[in-house]
Amino acid sequence: MDFSYTQEQKMLQESVQKFIQKSYDFETRNKIMASERGYSEENWQLFAELGWLTVAFSEADGGFGASAVDLILMMDEFGKAMLVEPFVPTTVLGGGLFSALGSVEQKAEFIPKIMAGGLQLACAYAEANSRYNLSSVATTARVNGDSVTIDGLKIAVLNGSNASKLLVVARESGARTDREGISVFMVDADAPGVSIQAYTNIDGKMSAQVSFEAVEVAVADRLGAVGGAIGALETVIDRATVAVSAEAAGALEAMLQKTVEYSKVRKQFGTAIGTFQALQHRMVDMFIECQLARSIVLRAAMKLDSAEDEIEKARAVSAAKSRVGKAIRRVSQEAIQIHGGIGMTDEMDVGHMFKCVTGLAMMFGNTDYHTARFAAL
């Protein structure tokens, strides 16, 4: 048994830590969020130069190896800094769908562009009535000869307003919640019939609601086999689920650290509030939650990198997201409570972390959803 990181992994981690330390403090993040695109293109190009955009891709696809452990190392650091750049939607979701479903030609055309920082993607899967069920798809795709017509409304499309290509999950056949009949299509964001309503999420990342009205694409814009995308979609979302779980684990650890620091300097009743046992034990519980969260995320990543069967992998992912969701609630609420009023202000980073992890708790399914999925698998 060996839980130590490889030399490459340590270097990757240090590379992210250095960038965050140098170029991503709270004020900088606020400026980036207030900018027109809501993320920094300059940072994005730097990520490409540093090789970070290759991490999600296999060596066969020209990437760094597609290791889930590599991915969570990065996400953990991103979480601590509340990074808003669209790493997950473009490389993990969009890139993941190209890797899993793309033809040789599609991969060759798009994956190098993603890794070079020249292509922003968004994955449009969720719908008004789908909740977290990936096979609940009401958006339709109708084939007429060489073209396909897409109609439907997608919600919570991360990076939807900055992506030049949208990967749209649509139904070619079957009833609304059938697993069969679901395909993924590449749609240009500026195609006629696509309307994008952009907004910022509570975690500071850009998102959008996207409607498709008689949007025409070519049959050749389908990724993978006709109606056969659900398995790949689940695998890709599972990987993204581990990524956001790691992001949350990092953010929670930062919240714990900030709370402990604050309790040492905030004086009431003539002493630092951190000297009160009632608060000490609660901070200990936060620490325990952080450790459990971190551990179960690592477990999930190691399972994804192993030769286990798909069911075991999926169970490990749901276990992680379920448990991290609980940790999010306990740690983040206590962090605000122990900070008191100051923790509720827009000026303090801890409050923004609270908002970030609240969003992450819902992303790709909350605790209840993943507990039920774990039990059912």
Partner 1 sequence: MAPGPLESRRIDVNADFTAEELAFESEVREFLSAEFPGEYRDKVDANIRLSKDELVNWQKILYRKGWAAPNWPQEYGGTGWSATQKYIFATEMGLIGAPEPVPFGMKMVAPVLMAYGSDEQKRRFLPDILESNVWWCQGYSEPNAGSDLASLKMSAVRDGDDYIVNGSKTWNTYGQYADWIFCLVRTDNSVKKQEGISFLLIDMHSAGVSLKSIYLLDGHPEVNEIFFDDVRVPANNLIGEENKGWTYAKVLLTHERTNISGVPRGKRRLRALKRIASDTDDGFGSNMMENSTFKNKLAETEIELQALEYVELRTLAALSVGKAPGPESSILKIVGTELAQKMDELFVELAAYNCLPFLPEQFEEGFQGNPVGPGTAASSALVYFNNRKLSIFGGSNEIQRNIISKAVLGL
Residues that bind partner 1 (CB under 8 A): 126, 128-133, 136, 155-156, 176-177, 197, 199-203, 207, 209, 267-270, 278-279, 329, 333, 336-337, 340-341, 343-347, 351-352, 354-355, 358-359, 362-363, 366, 368, 371-372
Task: Kindly write down the DSSP assignment for every residue of 285-338, as one continuous string.
Answer: HHHHHHHHHHHHHHHHHHHHTSS--HHHHHHHHHHHHHHHHHHHHHHHHHHHHH
Query: For partner 1, which is the closer residue by CB, 260 or 302?
Result: 260
Q: How far apart are CB 261 and partner 1 at their closest, in Å? A: 17
Q: How far apart are CB 280 and partner 1 at their closest, in Å? A: 13
Query: For partner 1, which is the closer residue by CB, 222 or 373?
Result: 373
Angle between helices 277-304 and 310-339 (to 10 degrees): 160
- Per the rule left: phi > 0, alpha: psi between -120 and 50, beta: everything else, 181 is left
Distance CA(168)–CA(5), nearest Å, equals 36
Instruction: Specify which residues 154 forms β-bridges with.
Output: 210
Query: For partner 1, which is the closer residue by CB, 206 or 304?
Result: 206
Query: For partner 1, which is the closer residue by CB, 221 or 334?
Result: 334
Query: For partner 1, which is the closer residue by CB, 203 or 221?
Result: 203
Q: How far apart are CB 128 and partner 1 at their closest, in Å? A: 7
- Under 8 Å CB-to-CB from 264, ≥6 apart: which residues? 272, 274
Q: Are 187 and 166 in contact (CB under 8 A)?
A: yes
Q: How far apart are CB 220 and partner 1 at their closest, in Å? A: 31
Query: For partner 1, which is the closer residue by CB, 129 or 164?
Result: 129
Could you tell me the two tokens for 314? Answer: 């999926």
Q: How far apart are CB 288 and partner 1 at their closest, in Å? A: 20
